[in-house]
């Protein structure tokens, strides 16, 4: 196992990405943040907490999206279904999708399909913690990237969160 981001580097990366989001979306009135279930929500929770720290009192529209039944690459067997919680309209809003690892692009394609069930956004951007840039199967690129890595298909990127895993780091396994 090789560490890609230590706990401290992960905290700095989240802070930097939050700042970049705020630079491009100074007024959050027309912007919504949506974390992708299951593991992207740990990252999106951190991004939202950092934005709230920087803009105390500002109303932030934050939702969570389950894309299980929109996937085209997982069709057999039982699925663990997560909850979608989008308690606001995304119609004509700037939507920022937030996920931990961008690999083949299939999760993001499924998220775009699922998102259309909730309205038609004016723009969709993608915020990713780790971009496995040479593994894409679909033409999907992130707008905000924590770290880009080169990895081979047999390697896995594992993001560890204190709430779920008891430790905090990003590793190549």
C-alpha distances in Å from residue 2, one per residue of 6, 158, 159, 171: 10, 10, 12, 5
Structural domain count of the chain: 1
Domain of 139 in residue numbering reads as 2-73+82-172
Residue 25: give its domain's CATH number.
3.40.50.2020
> What confidence score (pLDDT) does residue 76 get?
56
Instruction: Read off the pLDDT of residues 15-53 as tens digits, 9 standing for 90 and up.
Output: 999 999 999 998 899 999 999 988 899 999 999 999 999
Closest among 75, 73, 82 to 104, alpha carbons compared = 73
Q: Can you list the residues of the chain whose pLDDT is less than 50?
A: 78
Angle (deg, nearest 10), helices 40-54 and 7-24:
60
> What confidence score (pLDDT) does residue 44 get?
97
> What confidence score (pLDDT) does residue 74 get?
59
Q: Report if pTM > 0.75.
A: yes
- Please count the helices (runs of H) and the strands (runs of E) in the chain: 4, 8
Q: How far apart are CA 32 and CA 121, in angstroms?
A: 10
Query: Which residues make beta-bridge pairs with 65?
Result: 36
Query: ∠68-72-74 over CA atoms, to 5°?
Result: 60
């Amino acid at each position: 196992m090789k560490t890609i981001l230590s706990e401290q580097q992960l905290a700095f990366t989240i802070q930097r990405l939050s700042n970049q989001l705020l630079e491009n979306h100074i007024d959050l009135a027309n912007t919504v943040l949506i974390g992708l279930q299951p593991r992207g929500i740990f990252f999106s929770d951190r991004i939202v907490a950092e934005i709230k720290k920087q803009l105390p009192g500002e109303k932030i529209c934050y939702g969570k999206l389950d894309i299980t039944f929109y996937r085209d690459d997982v069709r057999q067997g039982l699925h663990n279904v997560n909850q979608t919680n989008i308690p606001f309209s995304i119609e004509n809003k700037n939507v920022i999708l937030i996920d931990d690892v961008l690999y083949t692009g299939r999760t993001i394609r499924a998220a775009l399909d699922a998102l259309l069930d909730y309205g038609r956004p004016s723009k969709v951007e993608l915020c990713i913690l780790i971009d496995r840039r040479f593994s894409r199967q679909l033409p999907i690129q992130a707008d905000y990237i924590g770290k880009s890595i080169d990895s081979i298909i047999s390697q896995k990127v594992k993001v560890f969160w204190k709430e779920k895993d008891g430790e905090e780091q990003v590793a190549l396994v």
